[in-house]
Amino acid sequence: MLKRKPLYSTLLYLAVICLVVYLIAPFLWLIIMSFSSANDLTQKPLRWIPSKLDFSSYKDLLTMGINSRGELFVNALRNSLTTAFIAVFVSLLVTIPASWVLSRYPGKKSWVLTTAIFTFMLPPVAYALPLYRMLTRMGWLDNSVSLALVYCTIVLPFCVWLIKANIDSIPYELEESAIIDGAGITKRILLVVMPLLLPALGTVSLLALIMAWDEYFYALLFTSSKEAITLPVVIANLASGRQSNYNLIAAGGVIASTPPVLIGVLFQRALIRGLVQGGVKE
Amino acid sequence: MVTKGTRWYSLLLAPMMLVMGAVIGWPLIQTFVLSFTDSQLMDASQPTFVGFQNFIAGFKNQGFHDALKVSALFALVVVSSEMVLGTGVALLLNEPFRGRNVVRALLILPWAVPTTVNAIMWRLIYNPEYGALNSLLFQLGFIEKYISWLGSADKALGSVMFADVWKNFSLVAMIALASLQSLPDSQIEAAKIDGANALQRFRYITLPHLIPSLQVALVLRIIEAVKVFDIIYVMTKGGPANKTRSGSIFVYQEAFTNSRMGSGAAYAIIMVCLIMILIAFYLRGISRKEN
């Protein structure tokens, strides 16, 4: 390798340091705030390093008492998980067979794929009003299952887009030899395509889970109590209150970020490959 | 033409089409129908048909014009900043240096932080009394007195945009970096031997290789940015003085705060049409390039 000029190296490392500070400083500060006492965070000038580690905000949010903040928060945590898993499960269940048809018989019903991708681009406000009326009329507001079904508007188009691109990359010859051996459609999908699709399905599910975990708009509209309210709504409500429990807000944020950040760190490569694949193929 | 095969395929497509019809198709049609009525949020009585009244009022409404301008400005500034910053960072992280893998791994952090958490995080940082930003700038001597970042009409939108760029530039950077890593070293080496300088190598080899994946990132980001709701709503609720009220927030307020469903639906339909025009322009741009 060529020896680099010292000026170049200096500039390079300077840029890298700036980048690292930019990447971690805001979130690091959120973590520090979450371990500070409320008193430390309302000093002027600000105390950058807490006088002592204070875990009370985490304890506050994660202890279940009747009608306490902890009860709402823990319920929201559970609801967020339930809603995200149901939405992704339903989406995968219906998109896998459909994606197979769209991939293997591109001429047939290609409008289905176009429609799916198109809906990905529309603002949720375009569906929210009738959905709200329908859920009210049926008494399905504030319900994790109906919220999960509504989440399919976001998750499903995304899944078809990526899963179809992934089936495209599985050679059709494999299925042809299965046909010669007398395999029907069910066997072709379950025994030939599925095993090869599994890694990609893992990636797509993780991306879709993060997507559903992140959703705020529908949850804000359709949930109101501990029965179905999700974490983003609870956190936004915490922050919009008049009181200055900054450490509590920060702790809520850190807890809500933990699952997606862990998934991100553990599966970074696969996630990026999954995201890029869908688009570049076209 | 109904053969045995076709029936099979339809059967496999049917569950997905059923779900799409229920949660996407049917509501969209209903929104369209609602937009021609004076339907109210809490009123169960039969709404009356009012023709194009909602649309005429909508086109004239100055507040809606302003909201669309906020959405357009937000999308333009945020997406272009993210593209430039993301590409720059990807090029930086493609250079060899000590600790590169750690920095690459850190890149996923902003993307993985949920949007609402990002919003409250920056709200805390921007806090006019106890926020870290004011304190930092004050202690470094850059400002004389604390600034209300989200509370002043001329700074609020910029502050929200800054928060959005922090979260979403990382997606662009990761996509661009993945593409750079798939560029074979031999191409760059060959260009070096032919005497191309760094700028020429970037212009004629790296950039053309990057463009397809940058396009994917661009489309993903524009789609998200024009329908922006959550980050703005959590940070400012559209205020102060509606300076950060985006199109989506406007529709939400019209339908759910002012309880005017019919009129809200008409605004939603107008937004959908504008986004469709945007998509059409994009598709035309692509097909022209290919010819």
Cα distances from A142 to residues A139, A148, A178, in angstroms, run 9, 11, 47
| A41 closest CA partner among A260, A198, A234, A246 | A246
Closest Cβ opposite residue A130 in set B30, B177, B256? B30
pLDDT at B3: 45
Q: What are phi and psi of A272, to 5 degrees?
A: -65, -40
| B27 closest CA partner among B233, B269, B246 | B269
Task: Reply yes or no on whether the pLDDT at A43 is more than 60.
Answer: yes
Amino acid at A234: V
pLDDT at A52: 85
**Contact status of B130 with chain A (Cβ, < 8 Å):** yes
Task: Give B188→chain A minimum CA distance, Å.
Answer: 14
Task: Give A229→chain B minimum CA distance, Å.
Answer: 14
**Residue A203 contacts residue A270 (beta carbons within 8 Å):** yes
Least confident span in A36-45, A166-175, B130-139, B146-155: A36-45
Residues 3-62 of B with CB under 8 A from A: 6, 8-9, 12-13, 15-20, 22-24, 26-28, 30-31, 34
B59-117 residue pLDDT tens: 999 999 999 999 999 999 999 999 999 999 999 999 899 999 999 999 999 999 999 99
pLDDT at B5: 58
**Half-sphere exposure of residue B69, counting CA atoms within 13 Å on the CB side?**
8
Contacts of residue B88, defined as CB under 8 A and 6 or more positions apart, other chains included, come to: none
Contacts of residue A60, defined as CB under 8 A and 6 or more positions apart, other chains included, come to: A69, A70, A248, A251
B117-138 residue pLDDT tens: 999 999 999 999 889 999 999 9
**Residue A36 contacts residue A47 (beta carbons within 8 Å):** yes
B209-262 residue pLDDT tens: 998 888 888 888 888 899 999 999 999 999 899 999 999 999 999 999 998 989
Mind listing the domains of chain A with CATH numbers? Answer: 7-54 (no CATH), 71-280 (1.10.3720.10)
* Architecture of the domain whose range is B37-290: Orthogonal Bundle (1.10)
Task: Reply yes or no on whether the pLDDT at A281 is more than 70.
Answer: no
**Residue A46 contacts residue A234 (beta carbons within 8 Å):** no
Task: Give A129→chain B minimum CA distance, Å.
Answer: 7
Contacts of residue A97, defined as CB under 8 A and 6 or more positions apart, other chains included, come to: A189, B12, B13, B15, B16
**Peptide bond preceding A45 in cis form (omega within 30 of 0):** yes
> With helix as H, strand as E and coil as C, how does chain A read?
CCCCCHHHHHHHHHHHHHHHHHHHHHHHHHHHHHCCCCCHHHCCCCCCCCCCCCCHHHHHHHCCCCCCHHHHHHHHHHHHHHHHHHHHHHHHHHHHHHHHHHHHCCCCCHHHHHHHHHHHHCCCHHHHHHHHHHHHHHCCCCCHHHHHHHHHHHHHHHHHHHHHHHHHCCCHHHHHHHHHCCCCHHHHHHHHHHHHHHHHHHHHHHHHHHHHHHCCHHHHHHCCCCCCCCHHHHHHHHHHCCCCCHHHHHHHHHHHHHHHHHHHHHHHHHHHHHHHHHHHCC
pLDDT at B38: 87
Residues 47-66 of A with CB under 8 A from B: none
Task: Reply yes or no on whether the pLDDT at A260 is more than 50.
Answer: yes
Interface test with A, best of B7, B23, B276 (most A CBs within 10 A): B23
pLDDT at A3: 58
Helix (H) or strand (E) holding B252, with range, is helix B247-252
| B278 closest CA partner among B233, B221, B210 | B221
Q: How many CB atoms lie within 10 A of CB B80?
A: 13
How many Å apart are CA A259 and CA A236, to the nearest integer? 18
**Contact status of A195 with chain B (Cβ, < 8 Å):** no
pLDDT at B2: 38
pLDDT at B244: 96
Residues 209-228 of A with CB under 8 A from B: 210, 213-214, 216-217, 220-221
Contacts of residue B52, defined as CB under 8 A and 6 or more positions apart, other chains included, come to: B36
User: What's the gap between Cα B37 and its chain centre?
Assistant: 30
Q: Which residue has the tokens 């930019």?
A: A22
Task: Reply yes or no on whether the pLDDT at A24 is more than 80.
Answer: yes
Q: Which residue has the tokens 């459909």?
A: A98
For residues B283 and B242, the model is more confident at B242
pLDDT at B281: 81
Q: How many residues does chain B have?
A: 291
Q: What residues of chain B lie within 8 A of the CB of A120, using their CB? A: 223
For residues B163 and A192, the model is more confident at B163
CB contact under 8 A, A257 and B105: no
Q: Which residue has the tokens 């309880």?
A: B259
Q: What is the mean pLDDT of residues A92-96?
A: 94
Task: Give A136→chain B minimum CA distance, Å.
Answer: 10
pLDDT at B76: 96
